[in-house]
Structure 1
Amino acid sequence: MFSVEDRERVRDRIVQMSRADQRLSSGALIGSTVGGGGDRWSDLDLTFGLVDTASMEEVLADWTDRMASEFGAVHLFDLPHLGTVYRVFLLPGNLQVDLSFTPGDKFLGKGLKHETLFGKAVEREPAPPPQPKQVFGMAVVYLLHARACIERNRFWEAEYCISAARNQALILECLNHGLRTSYGRGYDDLPPETLKTFSKTLIGTLDKSHLLRTLGETVDRLLKSSQNVGEVVLKIQSQLREIAMTGV
């Protein structure tokens, strides 16, 4: 596994390379390592703005080649978001490095913790948080599919659906408490008593009766987490409770 010293060497070299790249108008360090933060397991996140004449495709291709030649990095995947492309790399020692590129200089989400490396970093409005009704609706669909999968003896698929519904309920709790909702980042910051109530939604075995019990617990947690969703909850809560009833 990589060491903190390995990560710092990679960071310093990427900063050096980026400052010399005339296609980049500005750059910043983002993520948990800003200001000397992070821990032994933190990855690297750097973001850059492109000058008007730069081609996103050419910059991405060139940086992918340079990351491979400099560090032996493997390109895992891209994540486009609001005009930004996040390119994710895995380096030897299992160090994850995320490099993101945005046309222009508005490449920082408003309020995003960052450390400017060069150029002028301008904040843009962040993506809005998910809407509670949308999150609730997704959970309902997962619960419906979970029950169907249980009856079809497709227990692995049922496990996937129940876990997905639980995650939607946890997202609702994060919204209720003003916490981050993406990638489970707010879950551990929820009150301990809230997290304790979700323990019965965890699946320990693929036994049919256990899956049905867990499905029922997940329905219950979803309903109790949906106080800010609106009238749709009242309209279908009795139907939701039927999902986990035996003999239906």
Structure 2
Amino acid sequence: MFSATERTAIRAELITLATEDPRIAGAALAGSAARGTEDAWSDIDLLLQLDSAADEPTVVDDWSDTIDTRFGVADTLDVFAVGVRYRVFLLRSSLQIDVSFWPPDQFRATEPAFHLLFGTPNTPTNPIPLNTDTAIGLGWLYALHARSAIARGKLWQADMMIDELRNRVIDLKCSKVGLNSWHGREVDALPRPELEQLEATRVANLTTEDLEAALMLLTDHLLDEVAHIDVSRAARLEPAFVELRRPAR
């Protein structure tokens, strides 16, 4: 397990590397370090703005080799979002390092947690809010697949569909009170009664009875969240949800 002291030293070394690399035009910290909320489990989030003449794949490869040589990399994962590559490094110490490589015209704050180290960022943007229409549609879709999986005796599939349904309910609950459900970041801050509702939908045993009980509760919660957003939509959905609540056997 890495220590906070080790993490601080690695982050400082990465920042020095960025300032010394002529291919890097700007850098910033994100995440808990930018918010001032680091704890023993925090990772490192470093944003790099590429110089206009830099070759992105070459810069990524060079930085990856350097991080491996200096700190010991167990594995990496690339995530792409709106033209930006986020390379996630898992060190052998279990420390996570996220280094994102931004085209010069896209380097900017995309959420409040953004601490500029050097360079000139572009105009910040706000996080994309939850698309509640999509969350609702995915909710009833997962509910349908959970019901059919239970009826077919595919209990693991049913459990996975119920988990996805619960996640969409969580998305809607968080959106209602202005919390960020992305990767579960602020779910624990939901009001206690809301969390107790969600706890009751956890499947204790992989049985038809427990899965059906969870499905029934979650469809009720989903309909409640729809009604909070659009009463007429909830009214249209209610007959179908009554059918969804019927035992699949």
Q: Please, what TM-score do these two structures have when normalized by structure 2? A: 0.93
Amino acid in structure 1 at the alignment position of 2:240: Q
Distance, in Å, in 2 between the alignment partners of 1:76 and 1:235 is 46
The structural deviation recorded for 1:83 is 2.0
Aligned 8 A contact 1:106 1:124 in 2: no
Bigger Cα displacement from structure 2, 11-20 vs 192-201: 192-201
Shift of 1:79: 1.2
Give the match for residue 235 of structure 1.
236
Distance in 2 (alpha carbons) for counterparts of 1:220 and 1:175:
18
Bigger CA drift: 113-122 or 4-13? 113-122
Instruction: Give the Cα–Cα distance (whole angstroms) in 2 for the partners of residues 191 and 233 of structure 1.
Output: 23
Specify the alignment match of 1:244 in structure 2.
245
Within a 5 Å distance, the mapping from 1:113-192 to structure 2 comes to: 113-192=113-192
Aligned partner of 2:31 in structure 1 is: 31
Q: Which amino acid aligns with 1:165?
A: L
Is the Cα contact below 8 Å between 2:111 and 2:127 reproduced in 1?
no
Letter in 2 for 1:100: S
Change (3 A) 1:34 1:109: closer
Instruction: Confirm whether residue 203 of structure 1 aligns to residue 203 of structure 2.
Output: yes
- Aligned residue pairs, count: 248
What residue ranges of structure 2 are gaps of 5+ in the alignment?
A: none
Give the TM-score normalised by structure 1: 0.94
Q: SS of the counterpart of 2:130? A: coil
**Secondary structure of the corresponding residue to residue 33 of structure 1:** helix
Show CA shifts across 1:82-124 (max 9, x none).
2211110011221000001110154233442222222223343
Aligned mates of 2:219, 2:200 — CA distance in 1? 11
- Which range is displaced more, 208-217 or 114-123? 114-123
Give the aligned partner of residue 42 of structure 2: 42
Identity of aligned residues (%): 31
Partners of 1:146 and 1:246 in 2: CA distance? 11
CA contact (8 A) 2:148 2:248 kept: no
Q: Is the 8 A contact 1:4 1:40 kept in 2?
A: yes
Aligned counterparts of 1:201 and 1:120: Cα–Cα separation in 2: 48
Name the Cα RMSD after superposition: 1.7
Aligned partner of 1:77 in structure 2 is 77
Residue identity opposite 2:148 in structure 1: A
The aligned runs of 1:81-100 (5 Å cut-off) are 81-100=81-100
- What SS does the corresponding residue of 1:219 show, helix, strand or coil? helix
Unmatched runs of 5 consecutive residues or more in structure 1:
none
Distance in structure 2 (CA, Å) of the matches to 1:55 and 1:247: 56
Matched residue, 1:54 = 54
Mark the CA change 1:145 to 1:35 in structure 2 (over 3 Å): closer, same or farther: closer
Distance in 2 between residues matched to 1:243 and 1:192, nearest whole Å:
27
What is the deviation of 1:69? 1.0
2:16 counterpart residue number: 16
Cα gap change, 1:35/1:124 in structure 2, threshold over 3 Å: closer, same or farther? Answer: closer
2:179 alignment partner, SS class: coil
